[in-house]
Amino acid sequence: MAQLICDHLTLGYDAHAIVRDLSFSVHAGDYLCIVGENGAGKTTLMKTLLGLHAPISGTVHTGDGMRPNEIGYLPQQTLVQKDFPASVREVVLSGCQGRCGLRPYYKKAEKKLAEKCMERMGLEGLARHSYRELSGGQQQRVLLARALCATQKLLLLDEPVSGLDPKAAEKMYELIDKLNREGVTVLMVSHDVHAVVKSASHILHIGETIFFGTKEEYLDSETGQKFVSVRGGVQG
């Protein structure tokens, strides 16, 4: 049983379709990279998976014990966050908000979970630091810890290394790989061919042609070869 099943999705705004007839499924422990040109509908697909945007037709199911709100989301940073006064702990803890319902405070177990997620992301000792004073890489790790508070099953990462320097990006990928090895399913939207080829188990390419399959199949396919060559070739 798959954790996430998309069945004949048509995505777009109003009646204007961007992506047509998209079907794929994600199983526990998969590492799926979603690639495609700008404007191909990656963001729309992500919003649909998160339930923030209704598809024109088709359905998104969850299975294997997943509930629809159990996707841990790592959004791109917004302008608001740039000078937001918040401690690392406050940000990470806010990942537990989905569990609270209308309860106005956090339980002890949730605070403990937040501690643990910070530890997993190598943020111990930074809990009382101000989020806005951290480096870009550290900020991304804080947001990843927050996503982990929301779920331990499936993470949806939107361009997790955009704006990071190569070293911080490398560290970010290592952390994501580690989480994936520990059993967290990863869905990642990325422009970075290098990472796609190195870590992913499956590829979803959306655009003029839609491709879904394992990484090996993708690299053999015409779509895959074209994409990789345009994006600067495979290294290593």
Partner 1 sequence: MKQVHMIMEYLQYPFVRYALVTGVLIALCSSLLGVILVLKHFSYIGDGLSHVAFGAMAVASVLNLTNNMIFVLPATVICAILLLGAGERAVVNGDAAIAMLSVGALAVGYLLMHLFSTSANVSGDVCSTLFGSTAILTLTRGEVWLCVVLSLVVSAVFLLFYHKIFAVTFDESFARAAGTNAGAYNFMIAVIIAVIIVLAMNLVGSLLISALVVFPALSAMRVFKSFRSVTLCSAVLSVFCAFTGIVVSILWGTPVGATIVVIHILAYVLFSLAGMLR
Binding site for partner 1 (CB under 8 A): 50-52, 69, 71, 73, 75, 78-81, 83-87, 89-91, 93-95, 97-98, 100, 104-106, 128-130, 132-133, 146-147, 150
Closest contact distance (angstroms) between CB of 14 and partner 1 is 12
Closest contact distance (angstroms) between CB of 216 and partner 1 is 32
Each residue of 116-130: b (16+ CB within 10 Å) or e? ebbebbebeebbeee
Cβ proximity to partner 1, 89 vs 194, nearer residue: 89
Cβ proximity to partner 1, 19 vs 150, nearer residue: 150
Whole-number Å distance between alpha carbons of 73 and 104: 22
Contact predicate 121/144, CB 8 Å: yes
Residue keyed to tokens 């803890």: 93
CA angle centred on 11, ends 223 and 152, rounded to 5°: 85
Cβ proximity to partner 1, 83 vs 208, nearer residue: 83
Secondary structure of residue 89 in the 3-state scheme = helix
Query: Is beta strand 202-205 parallel, antiparallel or unpaired with respect to 185-189?
Result: unpaired
Closest contact distance (angstroms) between CB of 226 and partner 1 is 32
Closest contact distance (angstroms) between CB of 64 and partner 1 is 19
